[in-house]
Amino acid sequence: MPIRVRFAPSPTGALHIGGVRTALYNYLLAKKSGGTFILRIEDTDQGRYVAGAEEYILESLQWLGISPDEMPGTINKYAPYRQSERLELYKKMAAQLIATGKAYYAFDTAEQLDVLRKESESAGEAFLYGAKNREKLENSLSMTDSEIQERLKSGNPYVIRLKVMPDEIVSFEDSVRGAVQFQSNELDDKVLLKSDGFPTYHLANVIDDHEMAITHVIRGEEWLSSTAHHILLYRAFGWQATMPSFAHLPLIMKPDGKGKLSKRDGAKFGMPVFPLSWYDNGVETFTGFRESGFLPAALLNFLVLLGWHPEGDQEIMSLQEMISQFTPERINKSGARFDYEKAKWFNQQYIAHSPAGSLLAEVKNVLSAQGIHWPDERVLSLIGLMQERCTFLGDFYSECPFLFVTVTQFDDKSLDKKWNDQSQPLLLQIIKLMEAAGEFSAVSLHDSIQEYMTENEIGPGQLFPLLRLASTGTLKGPDLFKTLEFLGKEESIRRIQRLISYKSNK
């Protein structure tokens, strides 16, 4: 059977980075086998629905380069892909479970259940709606047929609950955790259909996975405890033969390793935890990796290793390499610490080793945001000059302001240390060399200046710091001669003259 996997987020806000990792692992498994990666929107919890969240989810996947093969809007035999558009199917299947005795109506009010929970808490117990007490509660198992029909006709609110049989072992093989089993006496009779007519996650998830021919379910470990109910639902529908295999992913932990990474940890630890920035009423409430200056390939590389490892010790991996090496069996059981410094390292590596042309569009966007509109050739030169020094895309501007504006301020402390009586005559000689230069390239500049220094027994420490101070205003910056080439002959000479004038007027 062809592999079919699904990423099924709820549109309740920004997509957490843990959800992105889940999507990535599903995508990798599908692509390795030539299978299908599906985006299904689980929007049955209407109270938590957030406008724009679905579009955000799809834009995030597309930015990362892991676009779904099937999604809302796809027309085929499995559609639709929004659960809110499949309500009649869920109602029909819930009624089938009622008819076969696998589920029942429950008329208990929220107030009645709250009283029972408090009584259990007072007795030091956890309230469980199940085999031990269900026939004493307000449901169709404790009523006659006429009572049930009267309740239904009168419009009494009800839910439909799964009937979990006592004294059973529910077991399955998890691709990550191995053999897992549950005792049915520890399981409650989960609500399948809510009083508003919407299904719970448990019912809709199982029906949709079956109807969409899902072969593998890869999801977070928070759903591990629900799997027993899902297996019972597969049995109740008679779908055991087509039940998917399960893989439950480890948690992504906070940078300090203390607890699960949450959306609020971005502000706490000063880092993004969402793929894209999220805006609430036009105001940015969470900054995304994209807006922080990450390349999508670098973020994917970082994420794939948060809980999974290849056979060797390879760290830098293309998406194609991830696909070829991915297997659920190599996913770790223990939680993975979200090391933001490592994420930054990946981004720096990708920026440093990417062809300049592949960064052109992103760097042009960075410059455009600053009101700088250079031709492509000029931007490519900037990339070649700076890319080994940049951790984020924004660094192509923020780390080299001296390339965009005239240097008028100099690092006086460094200048005082390097300047002496011979500095001005030496710089004037360098200006003459530059004026006479035919080709103004990094290589030719280096060779002619080096030749002059050798002939006049001038050490690098006498000249190079002065040239760097003249060109950048500080002792920091990219390769000196490449910087001079980028600035060009006229601007390089002007900057040296400006340093001389600055020092003369002090």
State mean pLDDT over 447-465: 96
Catalytic site residue 263? Answer: yes
Q: Are 232 and 201 in contact (CB under 8 A)?
A: no
Question: Does position 506 have pLDDT exceeding 80, yes or no?
Answer: no
The pLDDT tens digits for 240-262 are 999 999 999 999 999 999 999 99
> Residue 10: in which H helix or E strand, if any?
none
Secondary structure element (H or E) that encloses residue 174, with its range: strand 169-174
Provide the b/e sequence for 167-180 (b: ≥16 CB within 10 Å). eeebebebbbbeeb
Q: What are the helix and strand counts (H, E) for the chain?
A: 21, 13
Q: Is 29 helix (H, G, I), strand (E, B) or coil?
A: helix
In order of 196, 350, 359, the CA distances from 353 in angstroms are 55, 5, 10
**pLDDT band at 395, cuts 50/70/90?**
very high
Given 263, 342, 418, 489, which residue is catalytic? 263
Span 84-105, average pLDDT:
97
All residues at 6 or more sequence positions from 355 whose CB lies less than 8 Å from its CB, including other chains: none
pLDDT digits over 100-121, tens only? 999 999 999 999 999 999 999 9
Q: Are 17 and 252 in contact (CB under 8 A)?
A: yes
Q: What is the pLDDT of residues 198-228, one digit of tens each?
A: 999 999 999 999 999 999 999 999 999 999 9
> What percentage of the chain's residues is helix, strand, coil (to nearest 5)?
50, 10, 35
Q: Angle CA(292)–CA(372)–CA(468) in degrees, nearest 5?
A: 85
Could you tell me the domains of the chain?
A: 1-71+250-347 (3.40.50.620), 88-193 (3.90.800.10), 354-399 (1.10.8), 402-504 (1.10.10.350)
Across the beta sheet with 159-162, the strand order is: 103-106, 159-162, 191-193
| Rounded-to-integer distance, Cα 190 and Cα 104, Å | 11
Phi (first) and psi of residue 251, to 5 degrees: -70, 150
- Whether the upstream peptide bond of residue 68 has omega within 30° of 0, thus cis, is no
Q: Is pLDDT above 80 for 381?
A: yes
d(CA 41, CA 80): 10
Q: Any bridge partners for residue 160, and if so which?
A: 105, 193
Contact between 363 and 369 (Cβ < 8 Å): no
Instruction: Pick the closest to residue 162 from 120, 200, 114, 195 (CA basis).
Output: 200
- pLDDT tens-digit readout, 162-198: 999 999 999 999 999 999 999 999 999 999 999 999 9
pLDDT category at 412 given cuts 50, 70, 90 is very high
Name the average pLDDT for the chain.
95
DSSP for 213-269, written as a single string: T--EEEEEGGGGGGHHHHHHHHHHHT-GGGPPEEEEEPPEEPTTSSSB--TTHHHHH
Q: Cβ distance 37 to 66 under 8 Å? A: yes
Confidence tier at 263 by pLDDT (50, 70, 90): confident
Residue 66 scores a pLDDT above 80: yes
Specify the pLDDT at position 280.
Answer: 85
Token digits of residue 333: 């059981």
pLDDT at 45: 86
Q: What integer is the mean pLDDT of 75-90?
A: 97
283 against 323, higher pLDDT: 323
Three-class SS state of 319: helix
> Residue 193 has which token pair?
């259909």
Specify which residues 463 forms β-bridges with: none
CB count in 10 Å sphere of residue 162: 23
DSSP secondary structure code for residue 280 in this structure? E
Total Cβ atoms within 10 A of residue 368: 11
Cα–Cα distance, 356 to 360 (Å, whole number): 6
Reported pTM? 0.93
Q: Which residues contact 358 (CB under 8 A, 6 or more apart)?
A: none
- 227-237 and 201-211 helices cross at what angle (nearest 10)? 60
The tokens of 257 are what?
Answer: 């390793």
Single-letter amino acid, residue 499: L
Q: What's residue 312's pLDDT?
A: 86
